[in-house]
Amino acid sequence: MLPLIEINNISKSFKDNTIIYNCSFEFRGSNMYLIHGDNGSGKSTLIRIMTNLLSPDEGHVYYNHFTFEKDQKKILQSLGVILNDDRCLYYKLSAWENVYYAGRIFGVSKSILHSRMTTLFDLFDLPKDKTLIENFSSGMKRKVAIVRGLVHQPLFLLADEPLNNLDEESRFKCIQVFKQLALNGSVVIVASHIIDEGYRDLFDVILEMKDGKLHDLSLQGNSGITSL
């Protein structure tokens, strides 16, 4: 059975401002989804609701028919999250220590973790020494956050603006790694307001967040995506 994320009649408002209204969609495994939309369209809000950082006013999110209310730990074990905020890294730890900590929290064994970390660190040219995160550039921090979100090979990967601050080569590597994860059966969801023409075709489904809802652009016959 392929993994599945269902969002069911999700609505969210902040004070009198409705961000998401009655939004429903099914995200299936082995697919890489792009959620595109303007600033303030609700992409990040949706990602936060799906990662349980925010509770919706109405509706539910199901991960393989499980909900956060009842099966929080089971879902979190399979969830990988890459947020648009590099402060989520521990500044007094090195890149290797940050990722190692995350991998062990997710239950990856030491030997497998070491092997995966070596592969990902080499791929993204990240230092394996004791240099603390506080001394990294924003692009390097973003790469560490990406590797940290991937190291446990999550069944569900949710990434909010993962390509910000990355150079061209790193963006391509990032999308390729996400694609490989999707090909291995995971659900990969990337929220981004810009995506380059060169990688757009790597996405299986392109969605637009507009008027509080998700619109499947492949059904509408146009992408409407801003290119770099």
Partner 1 sequence: MIYLYKEILESLRYKVIWINLFLIPFFQFAPFVLMSADPTQVLIGLICWYVLTQYFFVIPNCFEDERINGTIVNLLTFPVSVVRLLISKGIWLAFQTIAIVTFTLFLFLLFNITVKDLPLLLALVVFDCFAMFCCSVFYLGLVLHIQRFSRINGFIQDVLGFFSGYTFDIRKFPIGLRLISYLIPLTYIIIIARHSTVFTPVALMMVTILSLMLLFLGLHMVNQKIQKLRSSGEWNVW
User: Of 90 and 172, which has the nearer Cβ to partner 1?
Assistant: 90
> Is 168 among the residues that bind partner 1 (CB under 8 A)?
no
Q: Which helix (H) or strand (E) holds 173?
A: helix 168-183
Outline where 56-167 has alpha helix (H). Answer: 68-77, 95-105, 110-123, 138-150
Site string for partner 1, 132-151 (x = CB under 8 A): x-------------------
Residues 94-113 that bind partner 1 (CB under 8 A): 97, 101-102, 104-107
> Is 128 among the residues that bind partner 1 (CB under 8 A)?
no
Among 9, 38, 53, 109, binds partner 1 (CB under 8 A): 53
* Cα-Cα-Cα-Cα dihedral sign, residues 146, 19, 205, 48: positive
Instruction: Say what the alpha-carbon torsion angle 48, 49, 54, 56 is, to the nearest 10 degrees.
Output: 150
Select from 101, 170, 167 the least CA-distant residue to 133: 101
Residue 167 class from Cβ within 10 Å (0-12 exposed, 13-18 middle, 19+ buried)?
exposed
Token pair in block for residue 10: 């999700």
Among 21, 28, 66, 93, binds partner 1 (CB under 8 A): 93
User: Of 77 and 223, which has the nearer Cβ to partner 1?
Assistant: 77
Stretch that binds partner 1, among 2-10, 24-32, 78-86, 191-199 (CB under 8 A): 78-86
Select from 77, 74, 16, 25 the least CA-distant residue to 49: 25
> Is 91 among the residues that bind partner 1 (CB under 8 A)?
yes
Token pair in block for residue 140: 């390097």
> Is 55 among the residues that bind partner 1 (CB under 8 A)?
yes
Contact residues toward partner 1 (CB under 8 A) are 12, 14, 48, 51-55, 73, 76-77, 79, 81, 83, 85, 87-93, 97, 101-102, 104-107, 132
